[in-house]
A and B are shown apart, each in its own frame.
Chain A
Amino acid sequence: MSHHPPVRDFATDFDHTDPRWVADPYPIWDELRRECPVAHTDRYGGAWMPVTYEGVAAVAYDTEHFTSRNVVVSELRPGDDDLPAPIGVAPPITSDPPFHAMARRLLLPAFGPKPIAAFEPFTRELCNELLDAAAGKDVIDAAVDYAQDIPLRVIVRMLGFPQEDADIFRRFIRLILEDVDASAEERQATINEGELDTYLHARIEEHLAQPRDDLTSFLLEAELDGNKLHPDHVQGTMVLLMVAGIDTTWSAIGASLWHLAQHPDDRKRLAADPALMDTAVEEFLRAYAPVTMARLVSADFDFNGCPMKEGDWLLLPFPAANRDPEVFPDADEVHLDRVENRHSAFGLGIHRCLGSNLARMELRVALEEWIKRYPDFELADAGAVTWSAGQVRGPRTIPVRIL
């Protein structure tokens, strides 16, 4: 639900919480790409938005003029009490060079393709457990009954927390990512409630007292400049993993199933040819990339003729870059066998999504197990499908009928 007045002109007054954008942002980006490749708005205290692949890439690679100190556009800019650049509130996603590389290096070994492959059997088992639980229903909500729980419970498993605590994270994710157009005061009040902080603090204490073979102990053992991380840094990193790792992959799984529910030919091809899944996963990521990032302008400067001012937001829609016809032939069509696919769903440059190997594994396994169980399904009620508002785009309700 938007708290803001409706947008009249997306080139000069854009708002990513506008109902038109939430329902279908692609025509908006197509029009801007033709007429005004860098849009502006006075909302949120001033923000810019490139919509071409070239423009999005230029900002992603320019860590000198754009800081990552805050990457979620809202009425609330970083305050004086928040950690300044180059560290930011949730390293390394909110960090700039040179600190960024050090903070990122700590985490990379846990998220490479080889360590992530170790979680594939758990993920597959989890998918089947969810499918079993939904079996026998006439209508399954592919977002709520399936997609949502997969990344959530895999992260909970990686951190070494009890599976039954997954609800705490579900509530937190919703607060951080979906209420962005609430007022600064409302947002601050909810964030200060502190349920998650208290929970994480207790888990960290337990792990300090008794180290285990999980990501929490891995983080507590990690060293930066020869010193172990401060528990506050570890806690910030855990929050980052949840914000960045749950809503996003849930959106990608949901959007892929939403597509398949409406495209019987694509369903048949995937069911008949499981090897097609490799290119299909990349194509779903390109066409339905969930994540739009953000930057803040570091100092006044001119970007492609736009007079950017220090502190202006920069909205970075990777999903728009992925639909740029200059880079992707038939950009608005889904070709499951697209063999050349340099999409930017996981970002470009030094902030490439740390969890991309995890997300790809989860998306592939989730689709494989669903297709195996239900090769044929359709939307039970197309009008009942709802999409998230904010910088992570994905379906939040997808009622499907099994055929």
Chain B
Amino acid sequence: MQVHVDAEKCQGHNRCYALAPELFDVDDLGNAHELNDGKVPPELEDKARLAVANCPEYAISISE
């Protein structure tokens, strides 16, 4: 599984970073990006889905 944050859509709500800090980090402006090139280890797949389902801007996508 891969996650990706669309930088154009992200407005810095920081829901993904709060829910899955293993998968996402934020820059100095509070905008999010995926860690480890977006690779999601199997044990974190639920957290990745949770991040997607809680992004108010629909900025996170998953590919499998």
Residues of chain A touching chain B, judged by Cβ–Cβ distance below 8 Å, are: 105, 108-109, 111-114, 278, 282, 339-344, 346, 348-350, 352, 356-357, 360
Contact = CB atoms under 8 A, between A and B. Distances in A.
Given A342-B56, A348-B57, A357-B14, A113 B50 contact: no
Contacts of A105: 29
6 contacts: A113-B17, A340-B50, A340-B54, A342-B55, A346-B56, A356-B12
A68 to B, nearest CB: 15
A113 B29 contact: no
A319 to B, nearest CB: 14
Contacts of A112: 12, 14, 26, 28-30
A339 B50 contact: yes
Given A339-B50, A348-B56, 4 more contacts: A108-B30, A339-B53, A342-B55, A349-B57
Interface of B: 11-14, 17-19, 26, 28-30, 50, 53-58
A113 B26 contact: yes
A112 B29 CA distance: 6
Nearest to A113: B14
B57 A113 contact: no
B50 A114 contact: no
A360 B30 CA distance: 14
A344 B28 contact: no
A102 B56 CA distance: 23
Contact of A108 (B13, B28, B53, B54): B28
A350 to B, nearest CB: 7
A349 B53 CA distance: 17
B29 A356 contact: no
Nearest to A112: B30
